[in-house]
Amino acid sequence: MITRDECHALDATDELAPLRREFRLDDKVIYLDGNSLGPVCERTRARVQETIDQEWAEGLVTSWNAAGWMATPTRLGNRLAALIGARSGEVLVADTLTFCLAKLIGGALDQRPDRHVVLTDAANFHSDIYIVEAMAKRAGRPVTVKAIRREALTQELDDDVALVMLTHVDYRTGEMLDMKDITSKVHALGALMLWDLAHSAGAVPVDLTDADADFAAGCTYKYLNGGPGAPGFLYVRSSWQGVLENPLPGWLGHARPFDFELVYEPAQGMQAFVTSSPSIIALAALDGALDVWDHATMSQVRAKSLALTDLFIQLVDERLPGQFDVVTPLDHALRGSQVSLRHSDGYAIIQALIESGVIGDFRAPDICRFGFTPLYVRYIDVYEAVDRMVEVMAVGSFRDPRFAVRHAVT
């Protein structure tokens, strides 16, 4: 049995431990939902304040030039690039994830005009499926979206597949796919590869360059702590830039927006994927949140993430035997930075846990989801979380009818 003291000892030697102070977290709350919404960083507050008080209040409209506002989407894209194995100039922070996917899907379908199939995962996030189906309908030729079992990918791949769109880490189970292997199989059949990195960016090591991915998109409000509804990001491999067209063009993606020309001419590089005015305050929040990454490497984060998720799985096994099914892969190579437990009363259990100060979330139909974010989650948090789960399950407090009331966000 792992003890509380052993967990304290692990925290005492954890080189990432000092970073917890960068976040505003109440010590009474155990926050295991950074895979849904990351907490506020102190630097975020400072950066947003500075943007409002100096750049906006004092600089007014001159800040578009003087404070470099116009370049923020590409500047932050370059900050983010390092975390996902992209090169400078290949990432843009803009829109939100579903919009980013729309741009990349639309652009990609135009690049394979003789092909008529898009493959995606039947277990993909619903928004991804909605947007790929909508973009396929607008491709200008018949394009069928096949939502398949991910294990059947190799059989389904043929020379009529234009694009494969997959989410790298499954939002429900936390299973991580082999990006490099899948991308090379997709390329071998002449199709293009688009990765959704919603549960990967800042969570697991990603090397888009090594995997030779064509396109990727993700969000910044989860493991990157950019704030609720924070902007998303797009990755377009440099060899596609100047080739891939933005299907949703707007004035700020034009080569000369202030010439007010009526004929669209795309700007160079990732700027061509900008549609409209960047959301400067939201970008300032993300800018501040990214500062924490100046003090942590992805390999440190990965090592601690695996240690935290291993610890959680072991404690659940030891202290709650037979009560939950662990649906997250035990194999490290297949695991993201979350652990999902299946239980038929999962929703009520999560509500009871939240009331006891342990915040996780629920994904229908029966998944209790716990995110482990090494920048601020401690080993002792894992111990205490399982301790409170033991109590909730032993006392049966989750059976109280008020915990069955479904909230809009689960």
Ligand X SMILES: Cc1ncc(COP(=O)(O)O)c(C=O)c1O
Q: Catalytic amino acids?
A: 125, 196, 221-222, 369
Which parts of 150-169 interact with ligand X (CB under 6 A)? 167
Q: Is 192 in the site for ligand X (CB under 6 A)?
A: no
What whole-number distance in Å separates Cα of residue 40 and Cα of residue 284? Answer: 13
Which parts of 221-240 interact with ligand X (CB under 6 A)? 232
**Look-up of token digits 């909730």:** 392
Stretches 59-67, 96-104, 153-161, 329-337: which one binds ligand X (CB under 6 A)?
96-104
Nearer residue to ligand X within complex by CB, 171 or 347: 171
Residue of 348, 85, 102 whose CA lies nearest to 202: 85
According to CB under 6 A, which one of 74, 96, 351, 356 is a site residue for ligand X?
Answer: 96
Q: Is 111 in the site for ligand X (CB under 6 A)?
A: no
According to CB under 6 A, which one of 23, 31, 69, 125 is a site residue for ligand X?
Answer: 125
What whole-number distance in Å separates Cα of residue 202 and Cα of residue 209? Answer: 16
Contact, 218 vs 196, CB < 8 A? yes
Nearer residue to ligand X within complex by CB, 198 or 211: 198
According to CB under 6 A, which one of 76, 179, 198, 208 is a site residue for ligand X?
Answer: 198
Nearer residue to ligand X within complex by CB, 232 or 360: 232
What whole-number distance in Å separates Cα of residue 5 and Cα of residue 340? Answer: 26
What whole-number distance in Å separates Cα of residue 376 and Cα of residue 35? Answer: 12
Number of residues that bind ligand X (CB under 6 A): 12
Shortest CB 65 distance to ligand X, Å? 29
SS3 144: strand
Would you list the DSSP string of 45-62? HHHHHHIIIIIITTTGGG
Stretches 2-10, 123-131, 249-257, 354-362: which one binds ligand X (CB under 6 A)?
123-131
Nearer residue to ligand X within complex by CB, 134 or 380: 134
Nearer residue to ligand X within complex by CB, 125 or 370: 125
Contact, 4 vs 383, CB < 8 A? yes
Q: Is 127 in the site for ligand X (CB under 6 A)?
A: yes
Nearer residue to ligand X within complex by CB, 338 or 356: 338
H-only helix segments in 266-359 = 280-290, 298-319, 346-355
According to CB under 6 A, which one of 97, 104, 145, 272 is a site residue for ligand X?
Answer: 97
Shortest CB 256 distance to ligand X, Å? 30
Contact, 210 vs 26, CB < 8 A? no
Neighbours of 124 (CB within 10 A): 18
Shortest CB 195 distance to ligand X, Å? 10
Residue of 393, 348, 339 whose CA lies nearest to 366: 348
Q: Is 120 in the site for ligand X (CB under 6 A)?
A: no
Nearer residue to ligand X within complex by CB, 16 or 219: 219
The dihedral sign for the CA sequence 193, 198, 204, 208: positive
Angle at 74 between CA 69 and CA 78, to 5 degrees: 125
Q: Is 98 in the site for ligand X (CB under 6 A)?
A: yes
Burial tier of 262 (Cβ tally within 10 Å: 0-12, 13-18, 19+): exposed
Q: Is 102 in the site for ligand X (CB under 6 A)?
A: no
Shortest CB 2 distance to ligand X, Å? 31
Q: Is 19 in the site for ligand X (CB under 6 A)?
A: no
Q: Is 219 in the site for ligand X (CB under 6 A)?
A: yes
Q: Is 361 in the site for ligand X (CB under 6 A)?
A: no
Nearer residue to ligand X within complex by CB, 171 or 312: 171
Q: Is 84 in the site for ligand X (CB under 6 A)?
A: no
Q: Is 275 in the site for ligand X (CB under 6 A)?
A: no
Q: Is 171 in the site for ligand X (CB under 6 A)?
A: yes
What whole-number distance in Å separates Cα of residue 168 and Cα of residue 195? Answer: 6
Stretches 18-26, 86-94, 125-133, 329-337: which one binds ligand X (CB under 6 A)?
125-133
Look at strands 361-363 and 358-359 and give their pairing. unpaired
Residue of 331, 324, 325, 312 whose CA lies nearest to 32: 312
Contact, 30 vs 373, CB < 8 A? no
Torsion, CA 28, CA 200, CA 218, CA 186, rounded to 10: -160
Shortest CB 197 distance to ligand X, Å? 9
Single-letter code of the amino acid located at 226: G
Q: Is 128 in the site for ligand X (CB under 6 A)?
A: yes
Q: Which residues bind ligand X (CB under 6 A)?
A: 96-98, 125, 127-128, 167, 171, 196, 198, 219, 232
